[in-house]
Structure 1
């Protein structure tokens, strides 16, 4: 890497200026996130925080990113590169904003729409601001694009790189096309202005830095900060034993086939670099869980950063030591017309789980049990009693895996998202639905010396009619444990009819029959309830090594049942007195 800037080097940046510049770049991204959240119209942005923001240098190398949605962050670079390449760098001017959501041109799934603004200082291009958000609905054969068809066309409006603003003037024709292809046009203009405000914030901060410190200093600081992070990441990789470590995970189904869809990963640690090789992964599938290249690479990169140098400045230096090998034709390298709606919420989480299982063979003292490894994303069109329609979405969270030091976190978004659940108050204010439950699910966590975090039981009642699409997995087996920990419970979706009868619509029913958990346009009537039971994280360590006191506390807290305490932990508790029978416990524990 060259550290030259004209006749000066980046080493001319003194430590104080370095820290000032680093803080300015980080603040610019954080300001973008704050502006977007506060000014957006749709609840999925304003309340659930399903968005990401970052700034890049003039070469489209990541400079800083806000702590937003991990699966977006590394992928946004690919969208920005495709947009600038397609439009032409010489055709991008001050006041322009580009837009793209094409999964095959740097995108993920169609709902994730990216806005790219070049940033100039005194006519010189100094960087780019990029803001990506998950828009509630961009058309398609099911609400939120969840048609779970076999062709990308069923998932909504696919935009190639275009200019949405030219010299500060909006493209009204393009805006009209977007609004005409959405079930929620009432959110479009407000959300677009929110993204524009975020981009303007990045522009102001970088221009202010150039005005105060000089453009040469700012440009040298950009390169030095990236080199600094790369050095930290390489040092961290150097502490992992050299070797080749493999693991597999899978999706329960692609929605069409009844067979599991496998992914295989091989991590090759060589001194200060990592190769992530997905050779051996199943080919592209018919169903809508295929992952575009940008999404797969992003998932691989953020999965590794958890165990490298998470405190390092977030920039291109994080990614330079990591190579990702993606075979042509596999379901992690989707090509047109493969559908991709489940790529972020399902596929990314399986990539993380597989990588963490491989890392467990390299650094078992640091790795955790798998998370719920699912975003459990559902979208429902819903009709109010007065006939008004809208689109409602939520992400019922599950548990994270147990760690070498403590139990896993309960009811927490999978690492791919860093999003929030929809607040019940917001949902009931906006949509014709009523929340009936969102509570801890007993016995959902993987048993272990440090058990996994718990999943949840989620219930929402439709006040009018509705059609629900659902993307989930972990319905055949729970989240894997680590270091001898056990897997968590399986997940399940149910339709509770207004008369009280219960119909399992995803996963195993009480008689052992399994139903496809990828739902498209499942009909609900007024008074019907959708119930989802999310899983917990995998356990860490032998459950029999968990202290008797901890097991008893879990029973008293209703995290685990008396039966589970005996079966998994070898702790016998009297159901009447809730006291431990130490004689029976010692006999079970050997």
Structure 2
């Protein structure tokens, strides 16, 4: 360990001692699980009581509890891109409304990207929790709301100013004593295309916060406030010790990688993420120096979003088994240059931050880690959220907003092929169920099927992407955020890239036009779409990519390549060109002599 690491370890020694302090191990474990249960109960309430399908069905929300010092204590397995960022929102909330001014049932709401938020659709609710008049913690709930106004549905106007992305709330005391401020509510209702969802979703967040309050108070009643508070301190130190030990298992060194977003919507030039990981003893520095400056378009990532992406990207390969709390963050130092696209200043637009930027940060960090721990890292995922939002109009002229997240594949691992059609690591979200979408909106799902040849080749190939088709029954305007349309997600250790993604508009006569990505004539069109019109019986088709491969494709057993061909995952042509396996098209058996020649 170098001198800097030794100094930091000495400073933190009281928080990282090897025992449970004043709490016996059994009580420690019971209370640890109590904190996690509180978050899981919050999640159950959110899913069952929210009105909007993006919360109730897609599960685009997150819940956590914090101690009285606003240190993360526990979180549910919700959206990683929310969870590490929520601390910044909670801190901004309490900075605006100091603890001494708060009372039970006060709930502070904010979504301002420049006051701890991410993009404007993500609203964070922070509520203090008291026991016998003393503050013991905070409950925090964040949800992605379908629409908060702006120049296009979902705020996806892809403008040059954050004001075009919808209502931007500074920290406001939306509830006092569990009662909502009707004036603030009226402002919110006046600035959304989906007012019919808002009050129901607010009640769901309130219910989730009150559930966490009940669990923390019950724990304090049963074990005593002092014991609960001691356990909170020890739990954070416990996780920190685990994380530090995991970092020590990574060879000291400096590891650098890059990835790119396809465009900011205005310039055809790709936008670069550059990350340098410096591993020293039990600490990691994540340095984004060299990343591109603030973009004109709407893919900039506020500090909280970039920090969150860095934290969760590392956690996949540090200690995912450790309790999730503030101890995860202590050994990690961030350097995010001001006025880069990963740390912009107002009024830079940011609507694509959680979807475009986060996924590219993860891919860059994983590529850097592959240099340090090649036998543990996976190929990059599809590295995209593929977020689309569409305003719709039914036969009676009623307007609504429909949204979905067509998933792609994950990268190959050192042990197995990647998962097919799985949400990017930024979120544990679900695709919209076809039955729900067709019940609520004037659309029809035509297909959602595996996309052959979409995965990166490798000894362990990536998972497959999907072909997704939605038919508009009446008028609609679609907004789409995606990338990976210039080149697919990279593999590691000799693994290949996946194919590119593509968006198409299919007319009633079946003719298709590429509206995002590479067209048949080789021209490339920006994948950031806003206000693209669809008429009755016209179809939106999206082809997502798979994950990158792991290892040399010629080391994949030829029998497994044949299985992939028989399953329809890999074509005969790609089996030959990517894997060096010749398969007779008539008998669908391996041509051993030709395969030996190709692999020689």
Structure 2 vs 1, CA of residues 565 and 4 (structure 1 numbering), >3 Å: closer, same or farther?
A: closer
Q: 1:121 maps to which residue?
A: 131
542, 547, 560: which one aligns with 1:532: 542
Q: Does residue 325 in structure 1 map to residue 313 in structure 2?
A: no
Under a length normalisation based on structure 2, what TM-score does the superposition of the two structures give? Answer: 0.97
471, 491, 510: which one aligns with 1:500: 510
Structure 2 vs 1, CA of residues 4 and 539 (structure 1 numbering), >3 Å: closer, same or farther?
A: closer
Q: 1:198 maps to which residue?
A: 208
Under a length normalisation based on structure 1, what TM-score does the superposition of the two structures give? Answer: 0.99
Q: What do residues 6-44 of structure 1 show as CA deviations (whole Å, max 9, x unaligned)?
A: xxx961211101101101101001111111111000000
Q: Does residue 76 in structure 1 map to residue 86 in structure 2?
A: yes
Structure 2 vs 1, CA of residues 3 and 162 (structure 1 numbering), >3 Å: closer, same or farther?
A: farther
Q: 1:512 maps to which residue?
A: 522
173, 196, 221: which one aligns with 1:211: 221
Partner Cα separation in structure 2 for residue 50 and residue 168 of structure 1: 24
CA RMSD across the alignment: 1.0
Q: 1:280 maps to which residue?
A: 290
Partner Cα separation in structure 2 for residue 228 and residue 330 of structure 1: 35
Structure 2 vs 1, CA of residues 3 and 572 (structure 1 numbering), >3 Å: closer, same or farther?
A: closer
Secondary structure of the residue that 2:86 maps to in structure 1? helix
Map residues 124-163 of structure 1 onto 2, 5 A cutoff.
124-163=134-173
Q: What do residues 126-178 of structure 1 show as CA deviations (whole Å, max 9, x unaligned)?
A: 00000000000000000000000000011000000000101222100000100
Secondary structure of the residue that 1:11 maps to in structure 2? coil
Secondary structure of the residue that 1:529 maps to in structure 2? strand
Specify every segment of 5 or more residues in structure 2 that has no aligned partner in the other structure, as ranges: 1-10
Structure 2 vs 1, CA of residues 574 and 227 (structure 1 numbering), >3 Å: closer, same or farther?
A: same
Shift of 1:517: 0.3
In 1, are the aligned partners of 2:20 and 2:28 still within 8 Å (CA)? no
Shift of 1:4: 7.9
Shift of 1:386: 1.9
427, 432, 443: which one aligns with 1:433: 443
Secondary structure of the residue that 1:12 maps to in structure 2? coil
Partner Cα separation in structure 2 for residue 163 and residue 456 of structure 1: 43
Map residues 289-328 of structure 1 onto 2, 5 A cutoff.
289-328=299-338
Partner Cα separation in structure 2 for residue 394 and residue 84 of structure 1: 33
Q: 2:115 maps to which residue?
A: 105
Q: 2:252 maps to which residue?
A: 242
Partner Cα separation in structure 2 for residue 422 and residue 350 of structure 1: 24
Specify every segment of 5 or more residues in structure 1 that has no aligned partner in the other structure, as ranges: none
Structure 2 vs 1, CA of residues 324 and 3 (structure 1 numbering), >3 Å: closer, same or farther?
A: closer
Partner Cα separation in structure 2 for residue 196 and residue 168 of structure 1: 8
Map residues 451-470 of structure 1 onto 2, 5 A cutoff.
451-470=461-480
Q: 2:426 maps to which residue?
A: 416
In 2, are the aligned partners of 1:10 and 1:223 still within 8 Å (CA)? no
In 1, are the aligned partners of 2:575 and 2:581 still within 8 Å (CA)? yes
Shift of 1:2: 7.3
373, 390, 414: which one aligns with 2:383: 373
Partner Cα separation in structure 2 for residue 418 and residue 351 of structure 1: 17
Partner Cα separation in structure 2 for residue 404 and residue 95 of structure 1: 49
Partner Cα separation in structure 1 for residue 98 and residue 136 of structure 2: 16
Map residues 317-356 of structure 1 onto 2, 5 A cutoff.
317-356=327-366
Partner Cα separation in structure 2 for residue 501 and residue 554 of structure 1: 30
In 2, are the aligned partners of 1:3 and 1:224 still within 8 Å (CA)? no
Partner Cα separation in structure 1 for residue 88 and residue 243 of structure 2: 21
